């Protein structure tokens, strides 16, 4: 299906000020969509604002857990496609504050899906789950038929998100698909305790980058522009082939990398002589995790566009510019 699908199409994005949400909104408006976003907090330095996308979309202030608000937005803006990205995404915060994480990630999901069920114009819903929904699996790489076995607050919230979305398809035939992405990185992530932005900021400040774990935790790191493109591509496929409704899809570059290797790549790209400060303080995190994207390749004809070096280089450039501007204003 061509990108003509998006011309003047009414689209709702939750989580628009987040890392993936901001780049997704840019991709949508560039494709011609009419985007409305539900935004709870105004984030200083938000990538949505830096991209100028906040001036190109309609923004409704409120929480995704507010069902009356979500139903109003879907109805008054005549929304056709929905991207549900709103979530509390930081594992450490979830461990310290599980209730707020459950409220946003679990209640927010069923409120969104129930509101869509009551809105007859909605024809595609993409719910962003996570690779963390699988929990800690013995067989690698993780495929979509692995059981959802989150055990700690953030992982459990994503297992629940996933199962709730599936239940709305099975019970009500809601037109939903689920995405499970690898660890997203890219410009615009202002959660500095995440490894990529935190490492880059430390290097810019000539400080040793901190690794909270022992540095041997393995993930696949997925560039945010690939993530945004995957979201659009999935809805295009859903509009063309209704047989894929109800399915979950992993999106990943399928490259395993431990934290020390990632930090050393960033140090090399930034030409820094610093050495990482390995603290071995992490807990309640999965030690070895990476995804198979074979199903997305087979059913969606999807491929990632960006190699890790390219993605990291773009990301470093974004943070250099952001931190330079922040410093100049101080």
Question: Is residue 204 situated within a structural domain?
Answer: no
Q: Is 117 inside any structural domain?
A: yes
> Which 3 state secondary structure label does DSSP give 183?
strand
Closest alpha carbon to 216 in 266, 308, 268, 287: 287
In this structure, is residue 242 part of a structural domain? Answer: yes
Active site residues: 154
Is residue 284 very low, low, confident or very high in pLDDT (cuts 50, 70, 90)? low
Q: Looking at residue 329, what is its pLDDT?
A: 76
Check whether 1 has a pLDDT greater than 50.
no
pLDDT digits (tens, 9 = 90+) for 11-63: 999 999 999 999 999 999 999 999 999 999 888 778 999 999 999 999 999 99
The answer as to whether 201 is a domain residue is: no
CA dist., res. 40 & res. 106, Å (int): 16
237 within 8 A of 244, measured Cβ to Cβ = yes
283 pLDDT above the threshold of 80: no
* Domain housing 43: 3-187+220-255+287-307
- Within a domain: 194: no
The count of domains in the chain is 1
**What's the rounded mean pLDDT across residues 284-288?**
77
What pLDDT does 181 receive?
Answer: 96
How big is the chain, counted in residues? Answer: 330
The answer as to whether 156 is a domain residue is: yes
CB neighbour list of residue 293: distance below 8 Å, 6 or more residues apart? 249, 250, 251, 252, 253, 254, 302, 304
Q: Which band of pLDDT confidence, cut at 50, 70 and 90, is reported for residue 287?
A: confident
Q: Does a structural domain hold residue 323?
A: no
Contact 160, 106 (CB under 8 A): yes
Residue 209 lies in a domain: no
In this structure, the number of other CB atoms found within 10 A of the CB of residue 103 comes to 16
Kindly report the CATH number assigned to the domain that includes residue 181. Answer: 3.40.50.720
Write out pLDDT tens, residues 97-108.
Answer: 999 999 999 999
User: Tens digits of per-residue pLDDT, 92-149?
Assistant: 889 999 999 999 999 999 999 999 999 999 999 999 999 999 999 999 999 999 999 9
């Amino acid at each position: 299906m061509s990108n003509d699908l998006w011309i003047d199409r009414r689209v709702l994005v939750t989580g628009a000020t987040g890392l993936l949400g901001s780049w997704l909104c840019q991709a949508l408006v560039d494709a011609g969509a009419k985007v409305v976003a539900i935004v709870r907090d105004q984030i200083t330095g938000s990538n949505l604002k830096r991209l100028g996308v906040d001036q190109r979309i309609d923004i409704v202030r409120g929480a995704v857990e507010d069902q009356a608000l979500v139903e109003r937005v879907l109805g008054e803006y005549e929304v056709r496609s929905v991207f549900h990205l709103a979530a509390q995404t930081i594992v450490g915060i979830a461990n310290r504050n599980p209730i707020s994480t459950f409220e946003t990630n679990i209640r927010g999901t069923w409120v969104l899906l129930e509101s869509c069920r009551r809105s007859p114009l909605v024809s595609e819903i993409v719910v962003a789950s996570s690779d963390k929904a699988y929990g800690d699996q013995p067989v690698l790489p993780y495929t979509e038929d692995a059981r959802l076995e989150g055990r700690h607050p953030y992982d459990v919230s994503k297992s629940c998100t996933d199962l709730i979305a599936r239940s709305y398809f099975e019970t009500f035939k809601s037109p939903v698909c689920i995405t499970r992405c690898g660890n997203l990185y890219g410009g615009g992530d202002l959660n500095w305790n995440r490894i990529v932005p935190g490492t880059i900021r430390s290097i810019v400040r000539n400080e040793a980058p901190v690794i909270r774990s022992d540095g041997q935790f393995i993930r696949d790191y997925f560039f945010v522009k690939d993530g945004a493109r995957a979201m659009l591509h999935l809805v295009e496929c859903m509009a063309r082939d209704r047989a894929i409704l109800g399915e979950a899809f992993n999106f990943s570059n399928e490259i395993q990398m431990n934290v020390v290797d990632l930090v050393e790549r960033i140090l090399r790209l930034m030409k820094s002589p610093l050495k990482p400060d390995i603290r071995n303080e992490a807990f309640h995190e999965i030690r070895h995790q990476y995804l198979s994207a074979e199903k997305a390749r087979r059913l969606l004809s999807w491929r990632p566009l960006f190699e890790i070096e390219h993605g990291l280089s773009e990301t470093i450039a974004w943070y250099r510019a952001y931190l330079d501007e922040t410093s100049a204003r101080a």
